[in-house]
Amino acid sequence: MQLTELNDGLQVDGETTRLWESQENTLLRKLIDDAICSCLKEGTPSAQVMSISRPSGKRPFVALISSLLRPVEASPRDAVAAIFVGDAADVKLAGREALVGLYSLTRAEAELVGLLAAGNSLDQVASARGITMNTARSQLKQVFAKTDTKRQGELVQLVLSGVATIRPH
């Protein structure tokens, strides 16, 4: 099901995207304008993120607003931005293989990351995998080094917002 079909805070009519919360709608417009202006001035794409509230009370959608490079022969009015929206409550990793390939993790490290991203504590991960806490901590330190992260929250954000969450349909 498409996120727009949920009728839960996000509506798309043709080329217009509207948000349920008026302040967020204003912010979205500003981020789109900022992304396009930045691309026109600097010639490089830029991206911003925001949350989109949902009337249902479910976890907010996560949106990435990014400018797109325009062809050299295009005029400034041809500048565009893309909005990528995800439902954090529905994120599932495409597979541990994606983590292995993206971050050079071992299969054990990728399994640990997948369990953390699913909302488990490190204690729960160690127990589920039948390993000691020392082993779990050691693997987590290796994952931090390979992913250039320093905290579990930062790691989970990286994984849940990255391409490892993209599932083929």
Tens digit of each residue's pLDDT (9 = 90 or more) over 104-113: 899 999 999 9
What is the architecture, at CATH level 2, of domain 96-165? Answer: Orthogonal Bundle (1.10)
Q: Which residue has the higher pLDDT, 97 or 12?
A: 12
Predicted confidence (pLDDT) at residue 159 exceeds the cutoff of 60: yes
Q: pLDDT by residue (tens digit) across 31-90?
A: 888 888 877 777 666 778 788 888 998 878 878 888 876 655 656 566 678 888 877 555
Cα–Cα–Cα angle for 49, 163, 11, rounded to 5 degrees = 50
Q: Which residues pair with 87 in a beta bridge?
A: 61
Q: What average pLDDT does this structure show over 135-145? A: 96
b/e per residue, 97-106, with b = 16+ CB within 10 A? Answer: ebbbebbebe
Question: Tokens standing for 66?
Answer: 């990014």
Q: What average pLDDT does this structure show over 138-144? A: 96
Question: Tokens standing for 21?
Answer: 């919360």
CA dist 126 and 111 (Å) reads 11
CB contact at 8 A, 20 and 56 = no
For residue 166, the model assigns a pLDDT of 43
Residue with tokens 């579990």: 152
For residue 88, the model assigns a pLDDT of 57
Q: What average pLDDT does this structure show over 26-31? A: 92
For residue 92, the model assigns a pLDDT of 54
Every domain of the chain and the residues it spans: 3-90, 96-165
Q: What average pLDDT does this structure show over 147-161? A: 86
The beta strands (E) that lie in the chain are given as: 10-13, 16-19, 47-52, 61-68, 80-87
Neighbours of 7 (CB within 10 A): 12
Distances (CA, A) of 164 to 41, 97, 98, 123: 32, 9, 5, 24
113: left (phi over 0), alpha (psi -120 to 50) or beta: alpha
Q: Read off the DSSP letter of residue 46.
A: -
Tell me the pTM.
0.53
Q: Which residue has the higher pLDDT, 144 or 85?
A: 144
